Structure 1
Amino acid sequence: MTTALIMAGGKGTRLDLDYEKPMVKVNEKPMISYVIEALMESQYINKILVAISPNTPVTSEYVKKFPVKIIKTKGEGYIEDLADILKNREYVKKDEVIMTIVADLPFITAKQIDDVLENYYKRGKPAMCVSVPEYLFEKYNITPTLVYEGLVPTGVNLLLANNEEQDQSIYESENVELAFNINTLNDLNLSENYIKK
């Protein structure tokens, strides 16, 4: 079984909104709720942690209605907050497998999460980055935040709970839903159009 860690402490400055990014609604529902529900339905996830920060007090209150454990971070940045969590034995055991996932993937499903985890455990490497091919972004007119050798990271990763350098594989997923990482207002508008289709 695997622990999921939702990173929900970012300001979401690129969205240029006056409310917290995890609480941005897609189809009348906060984005983070889709992520939590998909994780709850996964056959491989047995514990869900939500990392919040001083930037996301409303999110912190909202997620209390779900069976999750809330971790308060300093909100210094994704990498810094993650490093603090991975070395904190109050939340994770040393070398425990952790799936980190961003709070802004409103179309992710339990089936996709299970597919990612099955691929991770087959590979036998301590870390895995889940990416989507760039052409899917072009097809749906989504702006990728980062492109590396034709692949775009999805915000879903697997690693062991330690701060050591870990050998990593890259899993290329063809699921377009993983491409809808909502970072800009354009992404938000495109996601609403995707729902209508």
Structure 2
Amino acid sequence: MCGGAGSRLGAGEEKPLVKLGGKHNVDRVIGALEKSGRFSRIIAAVSPNTPRTREFLASRGVDIIDTPGAGYPQDLSFLLARLAHEWVLVVPADIPLLTPAAVGEALDLLLKEHGPAVSLVAEKCFVEKLGVRPSVLVGDLCHSGITLFDASVAGPVEERYVTMNRAEIAVNVNTKGEKELAELLVKRADDFTKDLGL
């Protein structure tokens, strides 16, 4: 999902194009999904809020679906209707710590829980200890924005939840403070990867 304008960031840039460690948020997310080797295709859902993101992704050869930009729930419904009869893993473009290993672990957890909509959550206390302000709460759980949908099921569905307390899915970038935290964590992760020669 790459349709958010990122007005809370005040970065003067569309949220998917915000750079951390020299790479755009959306590049990091798409890279993690591709390197996981778990998907037949990856599609970026853009909106009128993100024209530069659309242009950037098109120049990279990424498949794109244009959503109306009417709001996250409406754009998600539009996307799922376009992908009817498929299993769709929805991932937000603002979780720059996502790694191929975390994608694989998340997908395995979600596939174990049967249902037309299974979402990944982290405990609120875990997310707050990371320094992130939870944006979507379900009781004492923080929604990651990652959901596995059976898009063949039409209409409203009951959402189920699976808990995964990992920074890779819990750190999203909505504010300047979260961007600073993500920059620090991304640098640590990049340095660690370089040290291992990966």
User: Matched residues in 1 for 2:126 and 2:172: separation?
Assistant: 13
Q: Which residue of 2 aligns with 1:181?
A: 172
Query: Structure 1 111/66 Cα, relative in aligned 2: closer, same or farther at 3 Å?
Result: farther
Quote the RMSD (CA, aligned, Å).
1.6
1:33-77 Cα shifts (integer Å, max 9, x gaps): 001001101232111111111211111121124453111121111
Runs of 4+ in 1 over 3 A off after TM superposition: none
Q: Give the TM-score taking structure 2 as reference length.
A: 0.87
1:107-127 Cα shifts (integer Å, max 9, x gaps): 101111111221222222221
Aligned residues: 187
Q: Which residue of 1 aligns with 2:119?
A: 129
Query: Structure 1 45/67 Cα, relative in aligned 2: closer, same or farther at 3 Å?
Result: farther
The 3-state SS of whatever aligns with 2:41 is strand
The 3-state SS of whatever aligns with 2:120 is strand
User: Matched residues in 2 for 1:193 and 1:158: separation?
Assistant: 29
Q: Does 1:167 align with 2:158?
A: yes
* Contact 1:130/1:171 (<8 A) preserved: yes
1:87 Cα deviation (Å)?
A: 1.6
Q: Does 1:61 align with 2:51?
A: no
AA aligned opposite 1:143: R
The 3-state SS of whatever aligns with 1:112 is helix
Q: Give the TM-score taking structure 1 as reference length.
A: 0.88
* Contact 1:159/1:166 (<8 A) preserved: no
AA aligned opposite 2:106: V
Runs of 5+ unmatched residues, structure 2: 189-198
Q: Does 1:103 align with 2:88?
A: no
1:155 Cα deviation (Å)?
A: 1.1
* Contact 1:86/1:163 (<8 A) preserved: no
**Identity among equivalent pairs (%):** 32
User: Matched residues in 2 for 1:115 and 1:13: separation?
Assistant: 31
* Contact 1:48/1:67 (<8 A) preserved: no
* Contact 2:102/2:168 (<8 A) preserved: no
1:196 Cα deviation (Å)?
A: 4.4
* Contact 1:47/1:68 (<8 A) preserved: no
User: Matched residues in 1 for 2:163 and 2:61: separation?
Assistant: 30
